[in-house]
Each structure stands twice: as C-alpha cells, then as structure tokens.
Amino acid sequence: MSNQYLTSARLQEYRELSTCIVASAIETFGVRMQNTGFTHSDVRCIFGDLPTMVGYAATARIRSAEPPMEGRSYYKRTDWWNQLRTIPEPRVVVIEDIDGNQGLGAFVGEVHANILKALGCVGLVTNGGVRDLHKVRALGFQMFAGYVSVSHAYSHVFDFGGAVEVGGMRVQPGDLLQGDIHGVQTIPAAIAAQVPEVAARLLDKRKGMVECCLDNGFSVEKLRKTVEELER
C-alpha cells in the first residue's frame, strides 16, 4: 500500500481534470507503458453525469455464480468492512469478479451502495455486475462496471485486501484512482503530486492548437507554426 497520500487541495485538482488529460500528463513522465494503468472499454461508467471520481483503492474479490462455502447471506463478510477502513478517505472500492460467468450477480445495489458510502467510499469499480441504478444514482455514488444485473445471485466476498485486476487494470490497495465518463485509471504514487501541473500545461497547448484551427485565417502553415511554438 502506498503511503504517499495527497492533500485535499491536490485531490480536488484531479476532480477538476478529465481522465484524458491526466492520462496524457502521466505519459510525459515515462513511468509506465502507455497501454497500461487504465480500464478497457468493457468496464463502463454507469453515471456519466456525475463529477469525476477520485479516491484510494480498497480491494476485494467476489464470486457470484456459486453459493459461498459458509453462510447464506451475501453480507456475511463484515470483516471486509474493517479492512476497508484502513484505506484513507476518499475511498474507491475495486472488486474483481473471478467467475467465468462474470456479472451474473450484482454485488453492489441500493443497500451496499449506502453501506459503502457510510464507510467513506465515493464509488465502485468492478468487472462484475451492479443493479438498483436509479437508487444508487440518487446517492451520488459513482459506479464503473462490466454488467448490469437484475439479481445479486450468489455474490459474496471471499478475499480482500490484495491485488486485483479489473478491466485490464491492475490495482493494489491504496492506489490513487481517477474515473469519469471515459473510464478509470491509476495514478502512479511517485508522480501523483506533479501530474496536475503538467496537465495544466498540456491544456494550454491544446487550447492554442484549437484556437488556431477555429481562426478565420486558418492555414496549414499557421497550424504548423503554432505547433512548433507550443513544443518549445
């Protein structure tokens, strides 16, 4: 687990940035391959109108296709809630459904969303299923999921507090996550405090190129000159 946690002001800066510009900023540091660190398109944003989600990962693994080895209630593993609270707020729950028939059952719906919000969580990322969308949307609790399901089926936590993989994104407990309508990504701890400033500079460059394209006197030569000036 990372111990390099950001100030509230820095976290707010991430909330005001899109995942796209943050991803571009991360690339400039060369700390990871450019095709890693984010969810594939099979994990989608459920509530595209909610603000950007930012928080630290609390991880678990579930099964939903088969009954648990013990206990009948899918709320049985309350010890998971204790471990979840060892992660600093704001928290994002990251749940890997390991069944071959992923998403058969929804682990998080109205009740679990209320529980997780009470435990300081702002959202969920899972390759599994979710449900009760209208009720959860009303809470302002963001969800990224691979499926929407009618039933919770046999959804139950069988393991928590370790590394998980959701939508191709590897996540360790305590990783900083950012998510919006485009998807979710991890922010490498070593550069997390620097990324917003780099993102702001990239936005300025993009603004300059867009303004050149919208100018009535647009030409390829002017665009080429603008790009050269911005790259200095």
- In a domain? residue 49: yes
Average predicted confidence (pLDDT) for the chain? 93
User: What is the average per-residue pLDDT within 149-157?
Assistant: 93
**Per-residue model confidence as pLDDT tens digits over 27-64:** 999 999 999 999 999 999 999 999 999 999 999 999 98
Distances (CA, A) of 55 to 4, 87, 164, 190: 13, 10, 16, 16
138 and 111 inside one domain: yes
Q: Would you say residue 230 has pLDDT above 80? A: no
Residue ranges making up the domain that contains 184:
8-193
Residue 70 pLDDT:
66
DSSP 43: S
Measure the CA–CA gap between 71 and 214, rounded to whole angstroms: 63
Residues 55 and 102 in one domain: yes
List pLDDT tens digits, range 102-124. 999 999 999 999 999 999 999 99
Instruction: Read off the pLDDT of each residue in 66-70 and give the average, rounded to a whole number.
Output: 76
- 165 pLDDT higher than 70: yes
Same domain, yes or no: 168 and 207: no
Same domain, 45 and 97: yes
CATH code for the domain in which residue 103 is found: 3.50.30.40
**CB under 8 Å to 25, separation ≥6 — which residues?**
195, 196, 198, 199, 202
Average confidence (pLDDT) over 2-25: 93
For residues 131 and 145, state if they share a domain.
Answer: yes
**Burial state string for 145-158 with b = 16 or more CB within 10 A and e = fewer than 16:** bbbebeebbbbbbe
pTM over 0.85: yes
